[in-house]
Amino acid sequence: MKKVLIVEDERPMAEAISFSLRKEGYEVDIALDGELGWEMCKNGGYDLILLDLMLPKMDGMEICRKLRQESSTPIIMLTAKDSDLDKVLGLEMGADDYITKPFNMRELTARVKAVLRRVQAEGAAEAKGRLVIGNIVVNEERHEVTVGSDVVDMPLMEYRLLEIFMKNPGKALPRSYLIGQAWGGDFYGDTKTLDVHIRRLREKIEEDPAKPEHIITVRGVGYRFEAGRLTDE
């Protein structure tokens, strides 16, 4: 079920939108001020955000701009004023669409559907920006790693190492190569540093980190990345 967040300070308006969207089968949450809206956006899990422009505590523009720095969740701006400036600003801030108040609910739900459809189509095209090996997916666009159906929290260096591995499957990669690629000129650790990162990475992506199937140690050289067993023995 698609999940929509409505950030709108006029309660009757928010509830009317919520009612219409629920009727169409969406799951809906409401935030009645900007600050709460931003918190809820950040914590994510929404397929689409309906964002009012004029909000107490934090306005819609700021939320939109901040959210765009970390996520591509589709946003439809709700603007009270039918001025071109608002529209242009709304789109420049990274909104996917806007709708001017007053609007009828049929128009709104049609826009919601259209944006979700468009994002889904773009998502399919963006699949090229994803590295997939076995049940591990690195989404380079979103800087996000999933193992199976779980999103895995990954600090930058672990992420970079995984990215290098996934781009070079089956090759024995020398330690010096991995360090050079992942840290560039900024490596000040000792040789143990790489092993520590590899260990953490294994804990996140291996079913049994003690018997790694993905990141294989190649003695005297470095590591090799394998797809792992795709079927159960």
Interface contacts to Ca ion, rule CB under 5 A: 9, 52, 54
- The identity of residue 91, as a single letter, is L
Count CB atoms within 10 A of the CB of residue 126: 15
Of 9 and 29, the one with the shorter C-beta distance to Ca ion is 9
Report in angstroms how near the CB of residue 121 gets to Ca ion at its nearest: 31
- Which one, 101 or 160, has the nearer CB to Ca ion? 101
Tell me the residue nearest to Ca ion as measured from the CB. 54
Shortest distance, position 5 Cβ to Ca ion, whole Å: 15
- Separation of alpha carbons 34 and 134, rounded Å: 41
Q: Shortest approach of Ca ion to residue 49 CB, angstroms?
A: 15
Residue 10 or 126 having the CB closest to Ca ion: 10
Query: In the bound complex, what is the minimum distance in angstroms from residue 70's beta carbon to Ca ion?
Result: 24
Burial class (CB in 10 A: 0-12, 13-18, 19+), 182: buried
Q: Cα Rg for the chain, rounded, in angstroms? A: 22
Residue 54 or 105: which CB sits closer to Ca ion? 54
- Longest pairwise C-alpha distance within the chain: 69
CA 134 vs. chain centroid, Å, equals: 20
Which C-beta is closer to Ca ion: that of 52 or that of 158? Answer: 52
Measured from the CB atom, the residue of 54 and 131 that comes closer to Ca ion is 54
Helices (H), the chain: 11-23, 34-43, 60-68, 84-92, 105-126, 156-167, 175-183, 191-205
Sign of the alpha-carbon dihedral angle for 72, 73, 76, 77 = negative
Amino acid letter, 86: D
From the CB of 183, what's the least distance to Ca ion, in Å?
47
Shortest distance, CB of residue 59 to Ca ion, whole angstroms? 9
